[in-house]
Amino acid sequence: MGYAIGSAAELDTQIIIAKNLKYIDDKTVHEVFEILEKTRKLLSGYKKYVKTKY
């Protein structure tokens, strides 16, 4: 689970680099960051759930 959360953080950096290199526009950055934030919350919630069950 920790790897998935770490990969999400890594993706943050890659998105910023892509924006700075003008591979993606601001609208796309915003959309991806929203999806990434939702994904992080799901991962975090699942991690807490697993810890309480096992």
In sequence order, what DSSP letters do the residues of 18-29 get, joined into one string?
HHHTTSS-HHHH
C-alpha separations of 20 from 6, 9, 17, 24, 43 in Å = 22, 17, 5, 8, 28
pLDDT confidence of residue 21: 98
| Residue ranges making up the domain that contains 10 | 2-53
0.85 exceeded by pTM: no
| Mean model confidence pLDDT for the chain | 93
CA dihedral 22, 25, 28, 34 (to 10 degrees): 90
Residue 51 pLDDT > 80, yes or no?
Answer: yes
pLDDT digit string, tens, across residues 5-28: 889 889 999 999 999 999 999 999
pLDDT confidence of residue 53: 86
Question: What whole-number distance in Å separates Cα of residue 35 and Cα of residue 39?
Answer: 6
Residue 1 pLDDT > 90, yes or no?
Answer: no
Total number of domains constituting the chain: 1
